[in-house]
Amino acid sequence: MTDSRLFLTTLSRLGDEQFTGTLRVEGARVGGVIVFHSGLVIAAETAAAPGLEPLLLRSGRISGEDWTETFAQAAPEGRLRAALVERGLLGSASVQVLTQTAAMDAVFALALAEIHTCSPDPDGAGMPPLVPLVPGMDVGRVVRETRRRVDVAAEWRERGLDPWVRPHPTASAPPINKGRAEVLARVNGRRTCRDIAFLLGRGLFAVMSDLRLLLEDGQIALRPLGSTATGTPPQPQLPQPQPQPREPAQPAGLTGASSPIAVSRPGAEEGLEPVAESADAEAAPRRRLLPRWNTRGPS
C-alpha cells in the first residue's frame, strides 16, 4: 500500500502547533490542499475525490439551477454556506455533514496518492474556503479515521482494488442492495472508482466499499475483458515459394537481370494496446470550492 506516513505525520504536527493556513500536498498521482484554522481542519480538496458540489448535484439533493444561482449570488461575498440554509436548499446540519464528508474523503484520497511533498503555507489563511467546516474537525480524529480507512484500503489493494482501477461487470445476477445496484450500473470497464464516485455524488471510500462487496460476490471483475486469452490470433498462411529451376549460364558479354532484394515487412508491435484515460469527462467537478488562489502550488 502507498506510504501515507509523511502525510499523516505532517497533519498531526500542524494540529499540535495550532497551525492556521493551508497545507499543500503533491503526490505521484494527484495533489490537493487542506485548510487549517487554529489547528482544526476546516476544509480539504483534491481532484481524487468528490467535493461538496458533486455531492450535492449528482446525488440530486440540489438542482443545478438552484446551485448555480445560489453560488453566483453568495460565493463572492463568502456567504455560500449561509445562503444554502436561508434559501431552504439544505438544513444547517446537512451542510455540516456534507462538508465534513467531503473533507474526510479528500484526506483519505490523498493518503492513497503516494504523497511526496507537504508544504505548509501560513499565508494561505488570508483566503478562507467558500464552505468551511464550522466548527473545524480535530486533527487527531481526522488522522485516526484516515489511518483506519487506509488499513481497510490496504486489504482492497491486495485484491487489485484502488481508486484508479477500471472494474467491469460480469454475467452474475445484479445485487439486491439499492446502493450497490447504482454502483454496478456505472461499472463499464472504462470508468475508474473515482469516476463512479463523481457520477453518483457519493464519497470515494463509500463507493470503494460497495465495489469490494461487488467484487466478493463476483458481480464485477478487475481484470480487463479479454485479458485471459493467451497468444495472438492465428495468421493466414502465405504460400511458400517454390524452388525455381536453375537458369543456364549466360554467355560471356551478356548482362543478366539483377537478383531481387528481399524486403522484410515490419510486424505489428504486440502489447502496445492504448489505454484510455478517464472515459467520463462529466465525472470531473465543475468548479473548485476552495478559491483558485488557495489551490495553486507555490510558485
Q: What is the pLDDT of residues 198-234, one digit of tens each?
A: 999 999 999 999 999 999 999 999 965 444 433 333 3
Residues 85-132 have pLDDT tens digits of 998 998 888 889 999 999 999 999 999 998 999 999 987 655 678 888
CA dihedral 62, 64, 69, 72 (to 10 degrees): 110
What does pTM read for this prediction? 0.73
φ and ψ at 36, to 5 degrees?
Answer: -115, 150
Q: Which residue, among 55, 62, 90, 97, has the nearest Cα to 207 in the 3D structure?
A: 55
| Cα 203 to Cα 54: distance, rounded to the nearest angstrom | 10
Question: What pLDDT sits at residue 134?
Answer: 87
The per-residue pLDDT string of the chain (299 residues; one tens digit each, 9 = 90 and over) reads 446 888 999 999 999 999 999 999 998 888 999 999 999 999 999 999 999 888 888 888 889 899 999 999 888 888 899 999 998 998 888 889 999 999 999 999 999 998 999 999 987 655 678 888 988 999 999 999 999 999 999 999 999 999 999 999 998 877 778 888 999 999 999 999 999 999 999 999 999 999 999 999 999 999 654 444 333 333 334 444 555 555 444 444 433 433 333 333 334 333 333 333 444 544 444 455 554 434 434 43
Question: What pLDDT does residue 215 have?
Answer: 93
Of the candidates 164, 187, 161, the one whose C-alpha atom is nearest the C-alpha of residue 174 is: 187
State the helix-helix crossing angle for 204-216 and 92-111, rounded to 10 degrees.
70
Asked if 150 contacts 104 with a C-beta cutoff of 8 angstroms, the reply is no
Are the C-beta atoms of residues 35 and 137 closer than 8 Å to each other? no
Distance between CA atoms of residues 259 and 255, nearest Å = 12
What's the pLDDT score for residue 108?
96
Strands (DSSP E) found in 110-243: 115-121, 137-138, 168-169, 220-221
Do 188 and 276 touch, CB atoms closer than 8 A? no
